[in-house]
């Protein structure tokens, strides 16, 4: 497998940021790590091995980036507005630095990139896609939370105005901008959650996201797995293989 590691000083985040590339060809997928995660976690937690067939077969090419969660949504000692501002800097890093790199690296200057992640990575993948559907071709989001007034983030309903445009279930429900909706309808939206251990809130948010997309007549593949399906890597391996095979068949 072709693997590359890159690092540079980000002018948007004002610090060094690193990422890894897995594969030589295929649909570019930007991978966000789990909460407080690092760019090498997809490899370290076994996902790269689990989906090697798609990477080595030239179906997909992964770009696994770092998070700044410890400086944004999990930085509980600063205000919601400050946490939001740090995430917006991360968003600019993705849009102004990472996406242009991917397009150059793939030698396709206009290509839209898929967004992917598990748990907190799923939040980032859905949020990035919804905010920039002209840059992202869709998302494969597994076991995510899609509203920031969850206990995990230490935020409540009264804090939502300060973080509104990064809380997908809040801003999507009110969105009526046809430009965004048209882009969403041209995209591959895959969202999944299980019904087992530690999936309760992810399941609730996934179902609410499904309802909102349905109300806006935005096609999406929302897949709810069984009561034995927990919030853990072995299930995410299975889900990724299943969705990748349906989107980018390993047989062709």
- Residue 64, SS3? strand
d(CA 107, CA 113): 13
Q: Which of 146, 160, 250 is nearest to 201 (CA)?
A: 146
Q: Which of 8, 11, 28, 29 is nearest to 19 (CA)?
A: 8
Q: What is the pLDDT of residues 81-117, one digit of tens each?
A: 999 999 999 999 999 999 999 999 999 999 999 999 9
Residues of the chain with pLDDT under 50: none
Q: Which domains does the chain have, with CATH numbers?
A: 3-247 (3.40.50.1820)
d(CA 61, CA 29): 6
| Per-residue pLDDT at 241 | 97
| Per-residue pLDDT at 143 | 98
| Per-residue pLDDT at 165 | 97
Beta strand spans in the chain (E): 3-10, 15-22, 27-32, 60-65, 113-118, 136-142, 188-193, 221-224
Taking the CB of residue 124, how many other CB atoms lie within 10 A of it? 32
Q: What is the pLDDT of residues 27-59, one digit of tens each?
A: 999 999 999 999 999 999 999 999 999 999 999
φ, ψ for residue 228, nearest 5 deg: -90, -5
| Per-residue pLDDT at 102 | 98
- Residue 244, SS3? helix
| Per-residue pLDDT at 249 | 84
């Amino acid at each position: 497998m072709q693997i590359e590691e890159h690092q540079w000083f980000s002018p948007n985040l004002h610090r060094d940021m690193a990422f890894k590339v897995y594969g030589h060809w295929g649909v570019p997928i930007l991978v966000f790590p789990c909460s407080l995660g690092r760019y090498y976690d997809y490899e370290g937690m076994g996902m790269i091995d689990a989906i090697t067939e798609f990477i080595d077969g030239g179906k997909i090419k992964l770009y696994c980036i770092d998070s700044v969660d410890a400086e944004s949504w999990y930085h509980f000692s600063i205000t919601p507005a400050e946490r939001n501002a740090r995430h917006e800097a991360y968003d600019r890093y993705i849009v102004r630095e990472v996406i242009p790199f991917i397009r150059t690296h793939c030698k396709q200057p206009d290509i839209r990139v898929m967004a992917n992640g598990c748990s907190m990575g799923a939040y980032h993948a859905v949020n990035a896609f919804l905010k920039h559907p002209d840059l992202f071709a869709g998302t494969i989001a597994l076991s995510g939370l899609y509203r920031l007034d969850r206990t995990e983030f230490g935020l409540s309903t009264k804090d939502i105005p300060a973080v509104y445009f990064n809380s997908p279930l809040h801003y999507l429900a009110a969105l009526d901008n046809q430009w965004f909706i048209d882009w969403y309808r041209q995209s591959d939206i895959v969202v999944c959650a299980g019904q087992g251990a530690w999936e309760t809130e992810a399941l609730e948010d996934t179902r609410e996201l499904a309802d909102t997309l349905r109300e806006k007549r935005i096609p999406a593949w929302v897949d709810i797995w069984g009561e034995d399906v927990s919030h853990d890597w072995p299930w995410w391996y299975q889900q990724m293989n299943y969705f990748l095979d349906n989107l980018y068949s390993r047989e062709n």
